[in-house]
């Protein structure tokens, strides 16, 4: 089923438009967690800690695709809104090729320096071998991973979000099946989990290239052209516009690295394992907001290109209501089911289960407010104001959360690590409100609609 970016969006139409993208990101997050489930239960606590130690660094590389896709998706939607469809196809083609090439280059560099990276991330001698094996094998899939991240936004710009959900399902089935074969069946440990992830990423990243290049398969409003010259100004514009998503994702993973360093210092391997489970739950929750933003950004970008401020304002107000309700529901669920979630991964260790349960309850309070801050950053991306969007993302993680994760444990001990994100999100909420009033007054109803 196709969707159209044009026209008025009621709550029902917003739901129909964003649910495929939310489903896509949710499924992607779930199959990323499958590695952790199989490794934790069939390869042991040390292997589980190793993949959680390496994962943030690998996400920093894959986030290149998120940057290009988020900024490029909004740019392509804006150009379509202005009525230049052929130009939109040229920009789309350039950005897809750029993403694949950069994913290949960065993956090769990471593979060469994996031991040094693992050591810098805090791996001890007992974890080093598994960190290196997992990191290097995962790099086989890095070009596909970068493309997969980029296409998350392009599916909506092409008015084919259901294709993104389908590809996530296919990649997820591949990942789960190979995890079951290699980790559970053949007992290949972290090596099996890495191969399963890499193959799934290659499938999820390169099938869309085939689809959008085929006149027979493609039913969307975007297509990849056989020949188009590289226009670096558009690549630069897309990267600048998507910088907030890249900065935000890099910052989030740098913060994750700092969490691991602090937890190794205070709790050792148990702390890293517990944080890994907390992050799995957070990935699921954040996936809902990320999927919403992936879908809503091209919609707002289209109406920005069409100069329809009234519809932009309507989308902002409706999004605020949706995000607020979703955040409350998420927080209540995490408080009720925290013990059950911990037992899924580490039920064999009573001490680790208790630690993880408490960590989930404290950490997940942040979802009362973080969805709104994430949406404001996406909103500025849609409005082609990548600088302000990046400021919001940068402050959220690299300023507020990073400061809190280092300072609060000095005052509150271990609990200070878990609530650092809660304090940071409240501070970010205040900053985002100020940025909206200053740089988008027409959206919040303080400026003219023409």
- pLDDT tens track for 362-404: 999 999 999 998 899 889 988 888 788 878 877 887 789 888 9
Average pLDDT of the segment spanning 197-226: 89
Q: Are 424 and 400 in contact (CB under 8 A)?
A: yes
Q: Does position 356 have pLDDT exceeding 70, yes or no?
A: yes
Average pLDDT in the 184-201 region? 90
**6 or 146, which is more confident?**
146
Query: What's the pTM?
Result: 0.70
Among 318, 288, 432, smallest CA distance to 373 is for 432
Contact assessment for residue 423 and residue 400, using Cβ atoms and an 8 Å cutoff: yes
Q: Is the pLDDT of residue 64 over 90?
A: no
Question: Per this entry, what is the length of the chain?
Answer: 450
| Distance from C-alpha of 99 to C-alpha of 97, rounded to nearest angstrom | 5
Neighbours of 230 (CB within 10 A): 10
**Mind listing the pLDDT tens digit for each residue in 289-315?**
988 988 898 899 888 888 888 999 999
Task: Quote the mean pLDDT of the chain.
Answer: 86
Q: Per-residue pLDDT averaged across 195-199, rounded?
A: 92
| Cβ atoms of 364 and 419 closer than 8 Å | no
* pLDDT of the residue at 205: 93
Beta strands in 206-256 (DSSP E): none
pLDDT at 362: 93
pLDDT grade for 244, boundaries at 50, 70 and 90: low
Exposed, middle or buried: residue 406 (CB in 10 Å: 0-12, 13-18, 19+)? middle
pLDDT, mean of residues 89-100: 93
CA distance 123 to 269: 10
Q: Is the pLDDT higher at 247 or at 218?
A: 218
DSSP 45-83: HHHHHHHHHHHHHHHHHHHHHHHHHHHHHHHHHHHHHTT
Distance CA 400, CA 53 (A): 22
**Kind and range of the H or E run holding 133:** helix 125-138
CA distance 313 to 366: 26
CA distances from 287 to 268, 367, 374, 378 (A): 28, 12, 11, 14
Higher model confidence: residue 24 or residue 416? 416
Query: Which of 262, 280, 282, 255 is CA-nearest to residue 397?
Result: 255
- Residue 450: per-residue pLDDT: 39
d(CA 251, CA 395): 9
């Amino acid at each position: 089923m196709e969707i159209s970016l044009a026209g008025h969006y009621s709550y029902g139409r917003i739901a129909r438009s964003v649910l495929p993208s939310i489903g896509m990101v949710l499924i992607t997050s779930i199959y990323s967690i499958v590695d952790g489930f199989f490794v934790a239960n069939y390869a042991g606590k040390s292997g589980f800690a190793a993949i959680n130690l390496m994962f943030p660094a690998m996400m920093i590389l894959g986030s290149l695709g998120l940057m290009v896709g988020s900024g490029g998706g909004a740019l392509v939607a804006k150009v379509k809104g202005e009525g230049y469809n052929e130009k939109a196809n040229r920009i789309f083609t350039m950005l897809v090729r750029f993403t694949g090439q950069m994913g290949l280059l960065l993956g090769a560099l990471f593979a060469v320096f994996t031991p040094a990276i693992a050591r810098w991330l805090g791996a001890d001698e007992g974890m080093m071998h598994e960190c290196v094996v997992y990191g290097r094998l995962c790099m086989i899939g890095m070009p596909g991973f970068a493309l997969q991240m980029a296409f998350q936004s392009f599916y909506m710009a092409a008015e084919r979000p259901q294709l993104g959900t389908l590809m996530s399902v296919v990649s997820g089935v591949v990942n789960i099946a190979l995890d079951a074969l290699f980790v559970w069946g053949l007992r290949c440990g972290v090596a099996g989990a890495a191969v399963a992830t890499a193959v799934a990423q290659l499938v999820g990243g390169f099938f869309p290239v085939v689809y959008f290049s085929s006149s027979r398969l493609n039913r969307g409003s975007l297509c990849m052209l056989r020949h188009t010259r590289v226009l670096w100004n558009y690549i630069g514009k897309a990267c600048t516009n998507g910088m907030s998503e890249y900065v935000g994702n890099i910052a989030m993973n740098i913060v994750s690295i700092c969490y691991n360093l602090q937890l190794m210092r205070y709790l050792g391997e148990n702390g890293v394992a517990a944080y890994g489970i907390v992050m799995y739950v957070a990935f699921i929750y954040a996936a809902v907001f990320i999927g919403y933003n992936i879908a809503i950004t091209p919609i707002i970008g289209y109406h920005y290109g069409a100069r329809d401020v009234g519809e932009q304002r309507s989308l902002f107000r409706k999004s605020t209501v949706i995000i607020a309700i979703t955040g409350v529901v998420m927080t209540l669920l995490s408080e009720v089911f925290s013990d059950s979630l911990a037992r899924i991964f580490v039920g064999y260790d009573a001490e680790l289960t208790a630690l993880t349960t408490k960590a989930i309850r404290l950490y997940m309070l942040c979802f009362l407010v973080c969805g709104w801050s994430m949406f404001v950053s996406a909103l500025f991306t849609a409005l082609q104001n990548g600088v302000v969007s990046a400021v919001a993302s940068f402050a959220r993680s690299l300023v507020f959360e990073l400061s809190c994760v280092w300072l609060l444990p000095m005052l509150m001990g271990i609990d200070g690590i878990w609530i650092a994100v809660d304090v940071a999100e409240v501070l970010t909420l205040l900053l985002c409100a100020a940025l909206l009033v200053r740089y988008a007054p027409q959206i919040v109803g303080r400026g003219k609609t023409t």
